Amino acid sequence: MTAVRAGVQADPVVSTPYGAVRGRYEHGIAVFRGIPYAAPPFGARRFRPPVPPEPWDGVRDAGSFGSTPPKPPYSEAFAQLLADPVVPGDDCLNLNVWTPEPGPGARLPVLVWLHGGALTRGSSAVPVYDGQTFARDGVVFVSVNYRLGVEGYGLFPDAPANPGLRDQLAALEWVHRTIGAFGGDPGRITLAGQSAGAISIGALLAAPQARGLMRRAVLQSGPPEAFDRDKVRRMVRRMATRLKIPATAAAFAEVDRELLLRVQADVGRLSSPVLGGPTFGIVVDGDLVPRDPLEALVDGDASTDVDLMLGWTSDEYRLWLVPGGLLERVDRLGTVALAGAMARCRCGHEVPRGYRALHPEAGTAEIVGQLVTDHLLRLPLHRLADARPDRSYVYEFAWPSNLPDLGSCHGLELGFVFDTGDVPESRRLAGEGAPQELADAMHGAWVRFATDGDPGWQRWDDSHPVRIFDGGEPHIAHGPRDAEFALWAADLTPAESTPASVPAAGSPTRGTELRSVVRRLRLPGSVRRP
């Protein structure tokens, strides 16, 4: 609701299920920050599923961002490129709302944003994610904080799995129940996210508990997937060994948060999206995640009435390899790095050989990077689009950064999707002089998709139409990566056809080779998928 007194617009006040909140008007947009959707996840609630917040009397101030979940800082190399504000406090399960028309009756489309950060970093307070531009264009925008790292994705024998994903579900339920009071239409909710946020959306798309809570979904540079339970357990056990405690939720709950973050950062230092390693991630739990999300979605064993927009950047891997000089190190390692990538992708030698034939001018690092990107990200999204052609739109972001070597790297599209290229945090990745017309095109497509389900180009079909955003006029390319994808379809990885110098897929020596590559790279800090 709004009020105007003596020519001054009063602060907007909206009622939620737990109490009223007072926001602020900024550039004509009503903004509510730090609204709790669940109780603080500490004390007896640590490592447990979220529970509703305590109701409050009176009107709660929602003028500033709420607390961010515990997380370690990015390494120095990544911190130069990626912003990650920290807001101290316990009440970290909160969300923010930007709306052009607070109050019931407007029935505007809604976009709910899940941030990236490898499920270990990030928050809704990152300036690039300012929802003002979506609200300016008639979309109610909501951004969400959720538990990260061991607090949100540690796997313990005495606690339910995936509490961070359960936080996201609780936030989505809050939005579905409450957003009408902020001018939104609960029947037109689009769930959007990038990287880890997109991976989370894949799991929620397949979750029985989330059915009916969203009308559309956007997966940017993150596929539906379940992580290997043993890898997640290994992270927890390594942390427990460093801390000299049992690998249980009860024992971890007694550890100081800052100490836990330091140990988590140290144990995860050698994890890499290119070469793997122990990690935190969403796991099959028989409940919220009853089976692998991608397989459930491809098989039709999940909701099939959600429109999808899926995509990636042309050079995802450059954000993982350029900081700290890893690109040059991978090139120097040559065939050793290539063997490590094959182990990571569990493919035979014909696949990288085919990539070299298709891209004869590419160096080893580019071959490794594109190989792993296709295996981890593009192929799963391609499979999902193939399974739901009448519901899917696919894009590729191809504009190269104005900064050296980054190319069209992972995360670069965010400033264009949000039309926030003027904030300093966007320029960390894009450099100066990013084209406004590209932001107009991408942001407009996301607004159209959230509004009516059509971003403005051809739906997926047998011709594999991909919308290319590259700084010029957006255009359709048909099957631009089909030649690479065909190599994977033909790869049978028979052990007898693999040279002795390249371990067969699935063999124990592949894991040994992988660990050797990681050690020789001397990875500086975390290079996991942001």
Domain ranges of the chain: 4-447+465-521
Query: Following DSSP, what letter does each residue of 122-162 receive, concatenated?
Result: --TT-GGG-THHHHHTT-EEEEE----HHHHH---TTS-S-
Q: Are 210 and 167 in contact (CB under 8 A)?
A: no
What percent of the chain is predicted at pLDDT more than 90?
81
27, 132 in Cβ contact below 8 A?
A: yes
Strand-by-strand arrangement of the 475-478 sheet: 24-26, 29-36, 94-99, 140-144, 108-114, 184-194, 216-220, 307-313, 392-397, 465-469, 475-478
How sure is the predictor about 343, in pLDDT bands with cuts at 50, 70 and 90? confident
Contact 524, 320 (CB under 8 A): no
Distance of CA 256 to the CA centre of its chain: 27
> What is the pTM for the complete model shown?
0.92
- Using N-to-C axis directions, what is the helix angle for 364-373 and 350-358, rounded to 10°? 120
Per the prediction, the chain carries an average pLDDT of: 90
Token pair, residue 66, equals 């709420």
- Catalytic residue check, 195: yes
> Residue 30 has what pLDDT?
98
Token pair, residue 198, equals: 């997109």
Q: Three-state DSSP class for 411?
A: coil
Catalytic hit among 123, 124, 195, 272:
195
Task: Please pick, among 151, 225, 316, 513, the residue that the annotation labels catalytic.
Answer: 316
Q: What is the CA radius of gyration of the chain?
A: 23
Neighbours of 258 (CB within 10 A): 10
Q: Which of 176, 375, 410, 464 is catalytic?
A: 410
Cα three-residue angle 62-143-203, rounded to 5 degrees: 140
The confidence band for 276, taking pLDDT boundaries of 50, 70 and 90, is low
Identify the three-state secondary structure at position 74.
coil
Under 8 Å between Cβ of 108 and 97:
no
Q: Is 303 a residue of the active site?
A: no
Task: State yes or no: pLDDT of 292 exceeds 90.
Answer: yes
How sure is the predictor about 268, in pLDDT bands with cuts at 50, 70 and 90? confident
Q: Is the pLDDT of residue 500 over 60?
A: no
pLDDT digits (tens, 9 = 90+) for 443-483: 999 999 999 999 999 999 999 999 999 988 889 999 999 99
CATH topology of domain 4-447+465-521: Rossmann fold (3.40.50)
Q: Is pLDDT above 80 for 510?
A: no
Q: Has 375 been annotated as catalytic?
A: no
pLDDT at 179 over 60: yes
Nearest Cα to Cα of residue 518 among 283, 337, 299, 264: 337
